[in-house]
Amino acid sequence: MDLSIVIPLYNEEESLPELSEWITRVMNENNFSYEVIMVDDGSTDNSWDVIERISANNPNFKGIKFQRNYGKSAALNEGFKAAKGDVVITMDADMQDSPDEIPELRRMIREDNYDMVSGWKKKRFDNRLTKNLPSKIFNAAARSISHIPLHDFNCGLKAYRRKVVKSIEVYGEMHRNIPVLAKWAGFRKIGEKVVEHRPRKYGVTKFGWERFINGFLDLSTLTFVGRFSKRPMHFFGLYGTLFFLFGSLSSLFLIIEKLTHKEYGLTNKPLFYIALAVMIMGMQLFLAGFIAELIARNAADRNNYLIERKIGIN
């Protein structure tokens, strides 16, 4: 199968018929063998009935329905598990992403050898103040932290080599940071394509401005986890030791000073309080590292590596 198209959706009943017709048209024009996996993220409108109807007309359209709303990441993750195509495309259900981009995205994966290609909504049709500006800030932060040169991490329209989606787990709200997940899994060839973005025709947006704060916090988590989750002591231990050393040396200095200038008061010096605080913080950091280390030791995936190839070994 050439293509799996994964579409997470939550209350998008009006968009689905048009979207499915458009996708079908593009697939037929290009003679792709394909499947469309619509993941209904616990919609409370008639989305699921619409999916059943579409699927009855065209068996390439498949559906998964969650019992309740788990979020876009969960929906993508289920879609990824089910996907069978060589190239996996994700797109939003609200018709802000254009299916006409699919053939070129697929070509970039197959011929230009990208592991993953992310869409870039260069010209956006969203609210300027609540989305465009915060999005610029989030993307700049994401770029500088992850060293992945993308302009639009959170774009719903993306293409992946099948192996990539089978190697990553999208949990929580990590759908905004899938490029980072892919990079940590060892897929380094990440490309970008400017894609057409359209105004939302039906329904309403499901995300508010908090998305950028959450996205940034998730990014920090990912970066930290990626670097230190298997060796937390190398982070906490280092800073704990440095803090503690600085505190101890300052105390020593204060004691010597007190012994040599007897008239001098200890507790009216700022350094006294700084030394105290820093020593306590150092101990705390060290302890946090020690506990994290005990947890990492027991993590079920502590030795799960992604193996790319083997020779002579079953």
Show the binding pattern over residues 35-74: x = contacts Mg ion (CB under 5 A), - = does not: ----------------------------------------
Token output for 192: 């970008």
Give the H/E segment covering residue 137.
Answer: helix 133-146
How many residues touch ligand UDP (CB under 6 A)?
17
Binding span for ligand UDP by CB under 6 A among 66-74, 78-86, 163-171, 235-243: 66-74
* Contacted entry of ligand UDP, Mg ion, none for residue 8, CB cut-off 5 to 8 Å set by kind: ligand UDP
Half-sphere exposure of residue 62: CA atoms within 13 angstroms, side-chain side: 14
Query: Contact between 69 and ligand UDP (CB under 6 A)?
Result: yes
Q: Closest by alpha carbon to 24, among 61, 51, 56?
A: 61
Phi, psi for residue 64 in degrees, rounded to 5: -130, 135
Which CB atom, from 41 or from 115, has the smaller least distance to Mg ion? 41
Q: How far apart are CA 152 and CA 148, in angstroms?
A: 11
Residue of 92, 115, 173, 218 that binds ligand UDP (CB under 6 A): 92
Show the binding pattern over residues 10-49: x = contacts ligand UDP (CB under 6 A), - = does not: x-x----------------------------x--------
Q: How far apart are CA 199 and CA 216, in angstroms?
A: 25
Neighbouring-strand partners of residue 8: 39
* Contacted entry of Mg ion, ligand UDP, none for residue 41, CB cut-off 5 to 8 Å set by kind: ligand UDP
Query: Contact between 94 and Mg ion (CB under 5 A)?
Result: yes
* Contacted entry of ligand UDP, Mg ion, none for residue 69, CB cut-off 5 to 8 Å set by kind: ligand UDP
Half-sphere exposure of residue 174: CA atoms within 13 angstroms, side-chain side: 18
Q: How far apart are CA 157 and CA 88, in angstroms?
A: 11
Residue of 3, 54, 72, 178 that binds ligand UDP (CB under 6 A): 72
Query: Contact between 93 and ligand UDP (CB under 6 A)?
Result: yes
- Strand 87-90, strand 3-9: pairing: parallel
Binding span for ligand UDP by CB under 6 A among 70-78, 218-226, 231-239, 253-261: 70-78
Query: Contact between 96 and ligand UDP (CB under 6 A)?
Result: yes
User: Reduced to 3 states, what is the DSSP secondary structure of residue 62?
Assistant: strand
Minimum CB separation of residue 94 from ligand UDP in Å reads 4
Q: Which amino acid is at 123?
A: K
Contact (CB, 8 A) for 252 and 272: no
Q: How far apart are CA 158 and CA 175, in angstroms?
A: 11
Binding span for ligand UDP by CB under 6 A among 24-32, 101-109, 203-211, 277-285: 203-211
Query: Contact between 152 and Mg ion (CB under 5 A)?
Result: no
Token output for 270: 């700022």
Strand (E) positions, 122-280? 158-161, 190-194
* Contacted entry of Mg ion, ligand UDP, none for residue 10, CB cut-off 5 to 8 Å set by kind: ligand UDP
**What residue ranges bind Mg ion (CB under 5 A)?**
92, 94, 96
Question: Contact residues for ligand UDP (CB under 6 A)?
Answer: 8-10, 12, 41, 69, 71-72, 75, 92-94, 96, 156, 205-207
